[in-house]
Amino acid sequence: MIRKGSDKENLQAPAVLEQILSATVAADFQMASEPQTGCLLRTLVASKPSGCFLELGTGTGIATAWLLDGMDEGSKLFTVDNDSAAAAIAQKYLGHDQRVSFRVEDAGALIEHFIEQNQRFDLIFADTWIGKYARLEDTLNLLNSAGLYVIDDMLPQINWITGHEANVEALVLDLENRQDLVLTKLAWASGIVLATKKT
């Protein structure tokens, strides 16, 4: 039976996550993904064998660890962040995994590179400004047919700057009105929007 609040129980987190979380706290990094978000991402990538995935906003690698935990050996993950100190934590604990490619640069520049290379992805987790509030169209164009687009932090957060709620509302309305996506909004964890690109 599923009880209210049980979504945080028995998540079977990746073994490396405890070390990453300790390093994240030590670095005073304040923008970590929630465990339920990670668990959802793991389940979603597991549905895409030999998939190609993109994470916009590596941070310290918390969501990256969950993604890798759900991926099969034939899958590939690209992850990008412009914060070299945060990304260094992710690379320290996850860099040995040959399935992940770390990029420390502006996410917009990487998106432009993927457009030029005609690269497509089976899932994009946009956990930074670019890919959500900027370059949204370009990001969605990188999805394969039936590809998944996932964003979090759609519920009010303590670190939101004044006026950011209007950005969130505008983004959700934009996604709701698109004809090329099938959308689900989850008032759960930090607030998730999950979309599938129509074939």
Confidence at residue 84, expressed as pLDDT on a 0 to 100 scale: 96
Q: What is the mean pLDDT of each run of 10 residues along the chain (199 residues)?
A: 72 94 92 91 98 97 98 98 96 98 97 97 97 97 98 89 92 96 95 96
The CATH number assigned to the domain with range 13-197 reads 3.40.50.150
Confidence at residue 2, expressed as pLDDT on a 0 to 100 scale: 66
Cα–Cα distance, 182 to 34 (Å, whole number): 24
SS3 53: strand
Contacts (Cβ under 8 Å, ≥6 apart) of 134 = 108
Q: How many Cβ atoms from other residues are within 10 Å of residue 162's Cβ?
A: 6
- Please give the C-alpha separations between residue 56 and each of 98, 127, 134, 161, 171, in angstroms, as whole numbers: 19, 6, 12, 20, 17
Enumerate the β-bridge partners of residue 52: 76
Select from 197, 190, 183, 182 the least CA-distant residue to 38: 190
Confidence at residue 52, expressed as pLDDT on a 0 to 100 scale: 98
Confidence at residue 31, expressed as pLDDT on a 0 to 100 scale: 79
Q: Where are the domains of the chain?
A: 13-197
Token pair, residue 82, equals 């412009």
